[in-house]
Chains A and B, each alone.
Chain A
Amino acid sequence: MRKKLSVFVLAVLFLSTFLPAAFRKEDIKVHKLDNGLKILLYEDHNIPQVALYTFFRVGSRNERPGLTGVSHFIEHMMFNGTKKIGPGEFDRKMEFSGGANNAYTGDDLTAYTDWFPPAALEAMIEMEADRMQGLIFEPKVFESERGVVASERRMGVENNNDSILSENVRATAIMAHPYHWDVIGWMSDILSWKRDEVMNYYRTFYSPNNAVLIAIGDFEAAKALELIKKYFKGIPAGPPPPAVTTVEPPQMGPKQVLVRKEAQTPSFNLVYHAPNCQSPDFYPLSILDLVLLNGESSRLYKRLVRDEQLALSVYGGMSETIDPLLFTIYVKPRPGVDLNRLEAVIEEELGKIKKEGISEKEREKALNMIRSGFYFGLQTNAGKANQLGSTEVLYGSYEKLFTQMDNYAAVKREQVQEAAKKYLTDDNKTVGKLIPQGGAK
């Protein structure tokens, strides 16, 4: 999960000014069970549907060498059988009652996302409670699902040059912290995970005290809470999962990684170590991200794609993460472009920011992007559930969602300049280049 941060967050300032009755913090019902499960409920009767989202505080951040990718693998196994519900039954039952679901795993969290008609609420709550601790990891299914994830890696990484490069760049920039590897994990780990180790990992992280349950949609909150209590309260709390203690040491000079690969087009990355989402520096850097990379009026799009025609696209920016990750600048260069020239042009643009800062108009533009993105995202039950859940996990409380815009609006232009000077430095950077070989002329 590499989330575009802009669609995420907001503030009382704007909320109170513009929000009609819809979606106020006061209307969210909050409850915590004795076993530590936090529950957020919000009634929205716009359509006859419920979004039930379960977030676990576990992601590739919690893994270790040999077990990379295992958080994501467990996400897959969550559909593959418990003591009560056989492999595949979760999906069959859900679809029979008109529901659909998906799930995703990120660096810091794993989310299970169900969308279904109101009549299926009890059945879905029962099945979510069941798989929180009941997985059996049947060996044959385990092996089959290993093949699925290997195929997913082949699709997402091996046959996607941009991903091959960004995986290399991440692993070069981040030396010690588990963010060193991508969520999907290394292929050799995928092919050799052991069942008992995977089960142990599951038992460590899948407990009610390590989860947040969110229901948004067409139900009565009091009734929903009764149902959640009925099925979840018997699940025992687990010991607190081990903390991630590794801290990425400061980088002490520029790094470079070259990938030679059969291709017709190159790939290019430039990344810097960046603060986590709870750092005060997160907000100025997020505004800088929008100014540099978001939209055809952004500085790097204008310079690289339009003016100099060095690139087909630019993307990247800040990531909302629990521990410090990267400020990324990903570029899809035109075929045949001199990648050193590309790098020099980006450096020049970053130099301007460090020297002169951003304009007041750019600051306002970034705030408008954040504000409209927030509302676009709020239109659906799924959007609301996702925002509440990730804010709870990443920022420590869903309530932060309703004050985020204050944090953005409070950023002064000088702070953006200061943050650029502090983080976008030569000693803090890693450059990655995928250089096409053979094949294409």
Chain B
Amino acid sequence: MKRFIAATILAVLFLAAPFVGEGAFKLPAPEKLVLKNGLTLFYLKNADYPLLSFRMLVRGAGASQEPAELEGIASLTAELMQKGTAVRNAEAIAEAVDFMGARFDISASDENSSVMAESLSEHFPKLMEIAADCLLNPSFKEDEFTKERSKRIDNIKAIKDNPGSAVRPYFLKAYFGAHPMGHLASGTESSLKKMTVVQVKDFHKKYYRPERAIAAVVGNIEKEKLVEMLEATLGKWTGPGPAASLAAVPAFPKPKGRKLVLVDKPDATQAYWILGAPGYPLGDPLTPQADVMNTLFGGRFTSWLSTELRIKRGLTYGAGSRFQAWASDGLFVANSYTKNDKIGEMLDIVFDVLKKARQEGFAAAEVESSRNYLEGQFPQRLETNASKAGTYAMLAFYNLGFEYYDKYLAKVRSVVPAEVKDTAAKLLPETDFVLVVVGKAADIKKQLEKFGTWQEKKITDPDF
């Protein structure tokens, strides 16, 4: 592979759009349907392939609602919902889904839980029947709980065996501390050991409710048939009693000064790092400018970060940066890695590049290239049924409107260098940030001393 900018560490939430001319490519508007139980659904027909994609987001069923001591329960709940219902055991669910060659998953992220189901059209009714059964009637058997929990505890050890995968959870903990956005989907050894199946049942009961769900279906099916099928499955879904209100997510922590964490992994031959600082919330008016800026700073192959660290000096295979946005706030994160004896040099360059971007901004030709790039790469984000369904659900979930990307792209097209420079000055960190390095302390500690005082951890210590 020629690249990819550390895709495992920085998953992409929002990219952006091409130069095909104003209005040439739009997200098709879906039709809004409401089931009798109040569940809202967005639908688009696509008869090109015999396929159907379903996506649903359930507000509150994610990690941000977890009590501190139950870190990881949202993800564990989502997994266990697929491990047995009143009428199907785990084997029967797996067998039925696999038999259809279907894709089916329930997974929790920070602000929601996501249900995705995708199959050949002919199998879709059966698949939805199973998905609804998992959603409505999970059995949460004790033995499935015990199995999954023990698997998760062991999996944390496997994550720690690979410095590239370990750096992200260490970073989240260093940045967020006890804040719910720092909860790891995996949970931690300590939190998992104390969890009970009753708590899982309670979490499901409290947070999985139709009035908090938004769904989308894209693919080869007529509306009437779809509604009939969904009324018979998801239409049966009711929440027990009135919904408790969701806890407000506390304000994101804002680093003051440098918080530096070094995690010693004695067998690492490369040092992996993530640097993070405050960003902005989802849908923030700054988004187009910030994307134009970040594309140039660390968001694509020829970005400054990639140019300085990889292309000019061959220090690394991957280097990049991005903004990650949630409903109330967001983060800027940059990351890369290099062999042990180069980490000091690499970080010096990173700080130089940040400074240069903040102080000088970007040339007009660069800004034009970034605008073209964002617009040119946009259509393929909406190429499949699954990506359209996911986008409808996400836009509705965050109340951004289905014309969100039209406005976004219009703004991207008009961003000027002065705005990009302002955005860089505002959002790229200078003095206040969190920096986490995972590597062989014996080889890298000396090089890191000049950046300040490091809190040290050992990779074999419990948790992150």
Interface residues of A (CB under 8 A from B): 18-20, 22, 46-49, 75-76, 79, 87-88, 91-92, 95-105, 115-120, 143-152, 154-155, 158-161, 261-265, 294-298, 302, 305-306, 309, 312, 332, 334-335, 361, 364-365, 368-373, 375-376, 378-382, 439-441
Contacts and interface: CB of A to CB of B under 8 A. Distances in A.
Given A91-B301, A98-B373, A119-B19, A47 B158 contact: no
Contacts of A115: 377, 380
Contacts of B1: 102-105, 152
A76 B2 contact: yes
Interface in B88-104: 90-91, 94-95, 97-103
Contacts of A302: 91
Contacts of B460: 264, 439-441
Q: Give the 8 A-B residue pairs with the shortest CB-CB distance, closest first.
A: A98-B376, A147-B314, A372-B101, A144-B314, A296-B94, A295-B98, A368-B101, A47-B379
B270 A151 contact: yes
A147 B342 CA distance: 11
Interface string B32-66: 00000000000000011111000000000000000
Contact of B25 (A18, A48, A87, A294): A48
Nearest to B122: A18
Given A151-B317, A376-B51, A297 B269 contact: no
Interface of B: 1-4, 18-20, 24-25, 47-51, 90-91, 94-95, 97-103, 118-120, 123, 147, 150-151, 154-155, 157-158, 160-164, 266-270, 300-302, 307, 310-318, 337-339, 365, 368-369, 372-373, 375-377, 379-380, 382-385, 459-460
B158 A155 contact: no
Contacts of A154: 269-270, 339
Contacts of B339: 150-151, 154
Contact of A102 (B4, B155, B302, B310): B4
A103 B1 CA distance: 6
A181 B376 CA distance: 38
Contacts of A147: 313-315
A260 B385 CA distance: 46
Contacts of B50: 18-20, 375
A150 B94 CA distance: 41
Given A20-B50, A146-B314, A370-B101, A159 B163 contact: yes
Contact of A117 (B4, B301, B376, B384): B376
A130 to B, nearest CB: 17
Contacts of A95: 300-302, 369, 372-373
A216 B47 CA distance: 19
B379 A372 contact: no
Contacts, number: 232
A376 B267 contact: no
Contacts of B312: 144
Counting chain A CB atoms within 10 Å of each CB, the highest count among B266, B311, B339, B385 belongs to: B311
B151 A312 contact: yes
Contacts of B102: 372
A97 B374 CA distance: 10
A103 B163 contact: no
Contact of A151 (B118, B268, B301, B338): B338
Given A117-B376, A143-B314, A306-B147, A335 B98 contact: no
B380 A102 contact: no
Contact of A297 (B94, B161, B338): B94
Contacts of A99: 373, 376-377
Contacts of A373: 101
B314 A375 contact: no
Contacts of A118: 20
Given A48-B20, A148-B310, A148-B314, 19 more contacts: A18-B50, A20-B48, A47-B380, A91-B302, A95-B300, A144-B311, A151-B337, A154-B270, A154-B339, A160-B162, A302-B91, A305-B151, A365-B98, A368-B101, A375-B120, A376-B118, A379-B48, A381-B380, A382-B380
Contacts of B379: 47-49
Contacts of B384: 379-380
B376 A116 contact: yes
Contact of A47 (B25, B119, B164, B372): B25
A117 B154 contact: no
